[in-house]
Structure 1
Amino acid sequence: MFSLKNKKAIITGGGSGIGKAISLLFAKQGAEVHVLELSQESAQSTVDKITADGGKVFAHACNVANQQEVIAAFEKIGNIDILVNNAGIAHVGKVETTAEADFDRVMNVNVKGVYNCLHASIPQFRKSGGGVILNLASIACWVGIPDRFAYSTGKGAVMAMTLSVAKDYLNENIRCNSISPARVHTPFVDGFISKNYPGNEAEIFEKLSKSQPIGRMGQPDEVAALALFLCSDESSFITGSDYPIDGGFIKLNN
């Protein structure tokens, strides 16, 4: 079950965190993985790991916010079976404390970046006779997250794009779903804590962990496992759906 043998997958932001975990698992399951990162160096640890394990992987330097770079990368890769829109950035701030430049930066990556990849992917999916798209949304689509105005706005757009694409390409055998994680323990989280709470890292990590009712953060591998299911043939009856993976945050956080 869950084999991706003979499948070609593009994973944006596949050089670290959740994207890296998805890239490693997809390669392990037999996919030819194409990692899109801002630079070749950013993708190198993922490439090295997959290569060492005998998998097939290629890295492409590409700024997802730049449509011409995205189109060029997708045309170079050619026909695909899977697209995982994972690349994204975070921002802390309420609407009144969010500067225009910061809002634009988040929208360019988290919204326009997803649009650019969706736009470039459809011709390549047609060459394969269909395929599956998975977008990384967030629990911020479902609940109010304090001080995350721009980030929540962007992820809400990602969920709406998921529904739109799923509806528009039903007849072309292209499925589109999304995943909405709660807080996942990635290098970004560690960096955020050390930058903003120097000297109180352990206390803040514990506090953030317990914000999930299950009592801990998620792990990238857990998100990757859900991504694998949704991108495999075993989920062929699923499209236009969002899957929270949140330790009970949405339903149980009373």
Structure 2
Amino acid sequence: MRLNGKTCLVTGAAGGIGMAMVEAFLREGAVVVASDLDTALLSERCAGLPGGERVLVRRLDVTDPKGIAALDASLADAGVQVNVLVNNAAAITIGKLLDASLEDLRLVLGVNVEGLFNVTKAFLPGMIGRGGGTVLNMASLASVRAMRERFVYSASKAAIAMMTRSIAVDYVADGIRANCICPARVHTPFIENYLARYYPGEEKERFEALSRYQPVGRMIRPDEVAAMAVYLCSDESAMVTGGSFVIDGGVMAGDQPLPEG
């Protein structure tokens, strides 16, 4: 198993990508601290997972430094030593600059940027003190390529990509590796909710259009993102740090949609 001996803390674990990571990490032998604001939903989704005896479900608000410190202390008291940190929790708003409010900006930057800062700042010292570890951050294709009507979200994800490189450069001598994953559109519950909210009655057509954005003709599955996460969190990627790993179905190679029919 590729993650034997690893203890992985995953934020935003109740969501589509987060839960796919929890499942993949368990299959590879890791102990997983699955954290989310919605512990009821998280507990429900973790119940009955193969390897579920290695899951610790914890509530975590990434915007609350005191709560993060309390989680760190409680895990230390229980002898749980995190050596893989996955910053997956995220917020998103849709719209151009003129559509965005200051509240939108503060919400998205608060979760995506400050949240990553808060959680990493809390857990990194322990990882360094134990000889090193891995930080994996969820960025987005929007961090490397401008996307329409994603002004605030794109700004936050671009910040994450550079924060990742900075962590990699600053702490490589301490045994810390840091990378980020940059997916295009992933088929998660967010997509369904987004279509229902913004395009009621047009969900099918809009879903097909979003799928065609990737030249392969479909959206990415959460388990495909999780497979990349397993590699980046395992010792197989020991020489990989400071990277932004695109998974996009060919968008960056040339994003011409598939023809109709």
The TM-score bracket by the shorter chain reads: over 0.9
Match of 1:174 among 173, 176, 179: 176
Are 1:39 and 1:60, in contact at CA under 8 Å, matched by a contact in 2? no
User: 2:28 — aligned with what?
Assistant: 29
Q: Distance in 1 between matches of 2:95 and 2:48?
A: 36
Q: Distance in 1 between matches of 2:53 and 2:182?
A: 28
Identity of aligned residues (%): 39
User: 1:70 — aligned with what?
Assistant: 68
Deviations 1:48-80 (A, max 9, x none): 143x54541011111101111112112222321
Structure 1, 109-118 or 67-76: larger mean CA deviation = 67-76
Q: Distance in 2 between matches of 1:134 and 1:76?
A: 22
Are 1:30 and 1:55, in contact at CA under 8 Å, matched by a contact in 2? no
SS where residue 251 of structure 1 aligns? coil
SS where residue 249 of structure 1 aligns? coil
Structure 1, 127-136 or 223-232: larger mean CA deviation = 127-136
SS where residue 169 of structure 1 aligns? helix
CA separation of 1:168 and 1:185: change in aligned 2, threshold 3 A: same
SS where residue 232 of structure 2 aligns? helix
Matched, 1:110 2:112: yes
Q: Distance in 1 between matches of 2:128 and 2:117?
A: 17
Q: Distance in 1 between matches of 2:73 and 2:166?
A: 23
Are 2:14 and 2:38, in contact at CA under 8 Å, matched by a contact in 1? no
Matched, 1:239 2:245: no
Deviations 1:187-232 (A, max 9, x none): 1111111121111111010000001111110000000000000000
Q: Distance in 2 between matches of 1:247 and 1:62?
A: 32
Count of paired positions:
252
What is the CA-CA distance between 1:174 and the residue it aligns to?
Answer: 0.6
The amino acid across from 2:42 in the alignment is: A
Structure 1: stretches of 5+ with no match in the other structure: none
User: 1:43 — aligned with what?
Assistant: 42
Deviations 1:106-126 (A, max 9, x none): 110011001111101112202
How do 1:156-167 residues align onto structure 2 when only pairs under 5 Å count? 156-167=158-169
Deviations 1:9-47 (A, max 9, x none): 100001120010001110111111001101321311332
Q: Distance in 1 between matches of 2:238 and 2:93?
A: 35
Structure 2: stretches of 5+ with no match in the other structure: 257-261
Are 2:46 and 2:52, in contact at CA under 8 Å, matched by a contact in 1? no
TM-score (norm 1): 0.96
**Root mean square deviation of aligned Cα:** 1.3
User: 1:99 — aligned with what?
Assistant: 101
User: 1:3 — aligned with what?
Assistant: 2
The amino acid across from 1:191 in the alignment is: N
Q: Distance in 1 between matches of 2:112 and 2:211?
A: 24
Q: Distance in 1 between matches of 2:72 and 2:251?
A: 36
SS where residue 252 of structure 1 aligns? coil
Are 2:86 and 2:136, in contact at CA under 8 Å, matched by a contact in 1? yes
Are 2:61 and 2:67, in contact at CA under 8 Å, matched by a contact in 1? yes
SS where residue 176 of structure 1 aligns? strand
Q: Distance in 2 between matches of 1:67 and 1:111?
A: 13
